[in-house]
Chain A
Amino acid sequence: GQSLEQPSEVTAVEGAIVQINCTYQTSGFYGLSWYQQHDGGAPTFLSYNALDGLEETGRFSSFLSRSDSYGYLLLQELQMKDSASYFCAVRHTGGGNKLTFGTGTQLKVEL
């Protein structure tokens, strides 16, 4: 079976740095993705890690450790517009680019 664990809520202040962790258990792991979803909106692709290490895209970075079945999303210079839900998602082996999503982390950015 597949399972992903993320904190349900994180609160941080504008301008700060926040890290959202994700641990996973899966029988066939190919890579880890991150998506952002604002209330009432569509999930938006942020990043994808297939190899160990850190991938940086602007203010957002994503890290993966395959040996620890662990990844995180790092958001720097937080802005109010970053308040949203963030989902990690496992891409499975076997083709298809099918994803299994975690239950999401609600990030609240405060002044």
Chain B
Amino acid sequence: DTGVSQNPRHKITKRGQNVTFRCDPISEHNRLYWYRQTLGQGPEFLTYFQNEAQLEKSRLLSDRFSAERPKGSFSTLEIQRTEQGDSAMYLCASSLVGQGALSYGYTFGSGTRLTVV
């Protein structure tokens, strides 16, 4: 397994356009998370899935944001009508529910850097 994979690595888009990012988690991990990180800040929680069910969404996630995880495998995060404030690194992470401290650690992907111009 090559870890968590995110595509694309970079995305430049014009304000008002829609963008979609993809995340492929570690195959045996049943939880998948989306976070957003801006320069000099820690990652901020957006949403998470257990298998295919989206169990929690942050209040940060406006109606313009939607995430899916069909069949409990890969996930997509779509941002509609992008705004300059959406410019950030979008990080995906996965984890495995289980016993022991190691099971509480996330494995992050390298992220998709979004620039809205």
- Main secondary structure, interface of A, reads strand
Chain B residue at minimal CB-CB distance from A45: B105
Bound: A101/B81 CA distance, A: 28
**Chain B CB within 8 A of A76 CB:** no
Distance (whole angstroms) from the CB of A10 to the closest CB of chain B: 15
Pick the most buried of B31, B44, B48, B106: most chain A CB atoms within 10 A of its CB. Answer: B106
Inter-chain contacts of A79 with B (CB < 8 A): none
Question: What residues on B are CB-neighbors of A41 within 8 Å?
Answer: 110
CB pair A44 B55 closer than 8 Å: no
For A103, the chain B residues whose CB sits under 8 A away are 40-42
Beta-carbon contacts under 8 Å, B73-117 to A: 91, 93, 95, 97, 101-102, 104-111
* Residues A104 and B45 in contact, CB atoms below 8 Å apart: no
| Known interface pairs A42-B91, A42-B111, A98-B45; A50-B40 also in contact (CB < 8 Å) | no
CB of A99 to closest CB in B, whole Å: 7
- Known contacts A42-B110, A87-B42, A103-B40: A96-B104 contact under CB 8 Å: no
For B4, B40, B105, B107, which residue has the most chain A Cβ atoms within 10 angstroms?
B105
The answer to whether A96 touches B42 (Cβ under 8 A) is no
Q: Is the CB of A102 within 8 A of B42?
A: yes
